Each structure stands twice: as C-alpha cells, then as structure tokens.
Structure 1
Amino acid sequence: MPHHILIMLSAGIGIPILAALNAALGRYIGSPAVAATVLFVVAFAVAAIVALITSPAAVTKLAGAPRHLFLAGALIAFYVLSITWIAPTMGVGNAVFFVLLGQLISAAAIDHFGLFTAQQTPLSMTRAAGIALMAAGIFVTQRV
C-alpha cells in the first residue's frame, strides 16, 4: 500500500505542473484548445504504449463496457481545457484551489454513496470535519 500512496502523491504533484505547462503552451501558441489537443495526443500515445505492454487483451472488452463509463474522457477533456484556458488569467494556484475543492466535494459524495462501484465510505462527522479542514487549508494557502 505505501507504493500506492507514493504514486497518488506523485499524480497530485503532477496536476499543477500539468496545468502550468499546458497553460504556458496555450499562451505561447495562442490557443488553449490546441495546447489541450497536443496534451491529449501525447497522453494517448503514452497510455496506448503502457496498455499494449501491460494488458493488450483488455482492449477486446471495450465493446461490451457500459457507455456511461466513457464519460470520464469528456470530464478529463473539460478539466484540461478549462485549466489551460483559466490558469493564465487566474493563476495556477487559484485555479487548482477550486479544482481541489471540487475534488473534495465530489470524492466525498462518490465515497458516501458508493457511486460508480466505488467502495462505500459513509460521510461521518469526523470525515466531514477533515474534509472541511482540508478545504480551509487550501483556502488559507491561496489567501497569502
């Protein structure tokens, strides 16, 4: 389990870096949409290589997958397009603040109701207080 924590911590570290790099590319070329497209082309290539190496047989199961599960692709496109467009004017820190706040709210709801086959973890008062404390901490870091 400790390696899972390190992987997710690394993913978290990468999100603001992704936002800053893609926002800078969007400014440099004059198009956040083109910058987002480039990001997806590179991400697709990397993911496809990893998929082909680690689990090529899984591709055959895609045709039978519930269609609503593909909404994740639209959500990541929305995130990348919005952060690439907004971060240059709002600042990466402020933009990521609202992303983190949204993630806290969404994660709590998904866990509480066990949505999308997630492990159900009820939202206790202790957990709600912890989420509120995290949100307050994120807010305080952006007030400086």
Structure 2
Amino acid sequence: MTNTSYALIMLVAGIGIPVLAALNAALGRAISAPAAASVVLFVVAFLTSLAVVIFTGPQAIAKVATAPKHLLLAGALIAFYVLSITYIAPHFGVGNAVFFVLLGQLISAAAIDHFALFGATQTPLTWIRASGITVMAAGVFITQIAAR
C-alpha cells in the first residue's frame, strides 16, 4: 500500500469517529442506557473484528498471551472513549465532544511521536510541527467559539 492509500483509509476512519459518536449516542438515548449502547457497539465491533481475524489469519490470536500486558490497556482506553462519548455527546453536542477529543489526540499524538512511545516511529516535535499543531488546536478552538 502507498502513503496515499494509508491517508485515505485514515481519512475515512476519521470521518467515522463523529458518525460513531452520533449513532451510539442516539442508540443510548433510544434505549435510555448509554452504557448498554456501548456494550452493543462492542459486541458488533467484536463480531466484525472476529470475522476479519478469521479471514486474515486466526493464528495471531495465540500470540496475544506473549505480548506485553500493558498493551492491553488499549481496550480500556477505547471503552473509556466509547462510554464517555456515548454519555456526553447528547448533553454537550457531538461536535463539541469530538472537537475536544481531537484536541486531546493532537497533544497525545505529538507526545507519542516525539518520545517514540509504545514503539512508534520517532518524529521530533520541532518548532514547525509545534506551530502546525498549535494552528490545528486554534482551529478547534475557533470552531467552538463559532458554534456558540
């Protein structure tokens, strides 16, 4: 795959995040239980992921037992994200919730890349990169002001 392919896939994934938030928040309202809506989301996600693993090579699942245990924290983080966005989005607005998630992602991604955390490729936080992140964060802030 090319970098363009990777970028397009991630663009679609990014488009999906607010859609996920809106759909799951609506499900939580429809059934009057945001936590139950999150469980339903994870069941569907599990079944989808399971189908992909079966298709692409189930032998990888056996290797999980030998992986560093701290890497499993990702599951707790996605649960926190889904539970929080499902509960908060109906009260705070999907746009507001996702914009603050985006701000957190900018900060976290910059730190992960700069320090090469979790095996990431190191990308130093230069003043140009920091300026770009600041402009993006300012854009998020401006959208919040404009929404009022």
Fold conserved between structures, TM > 0.5: yes
Name the residue aligned to 1:131. 133
Mapping of 1:73-112 within 5 angstroms? 73-112=75-114
Q: Which amino acid aligns with 1:43?
A: A
Which whole-Å CA distance do the structure 1 matches of 2:143 and 2:67 have between them? Answer: 41
Q: Which runs of 4+ in 1 moved over 3 A?
A: none
Q: Which amino acid aligns with 1:40?
A: F
Does 1:26 find its partner at 2:12? no
Unaligned 5+ residue runs, structure 2? none
Q: CA deviation at 1:141?
A: 1.8
Q: Which amino acid aligns with 1:9?
A: L
Name the residue aligned to 2:12. 10
Identity of aligned residues (%): 69
Q: CA deviation at 1:60?
A: 1.4
Count of matched residue positions in the alignment of Structure 1 and Structure 2: 144
Q: Which amino acid aligns with 2:72?
A: F
SS of match in other structure, 2:51: helix
Q: CA deviation at 1:56?
A: 1.3
Q: CA deviation at 1:59?
A: 1.1
Name the residue aligned to 1:68. 70
Q: CA deviation at 1:125?
A: 0.5
Which whole-Å CA distance do the structure 1 matches of 2:145 and 2:83 have between them? Answer: 25
Name the residue aligned to 2:123. 121
Name the residue aligned to 1:39. 41
Q: CA deviation at 1:36?
A: 0.3
Q: CA deviation at 1:101?
A: 0.3
Q: CA deviation at 1:142?
A: 2.4
- Normalised by the length of structure 1, the TM-score is 0.98
Residues 70-121 of structure 1, C-alpha deviation per residue, up to 9 Å, x if partnerless?
Answer: 0000000000000000000000000001100000000000000000000011
Which whole-Å CA distance do the structure 2 matches of 1:115 and 1:54 have between them? Answer: 28
Q: CA RMSD in A?
A: 0.6
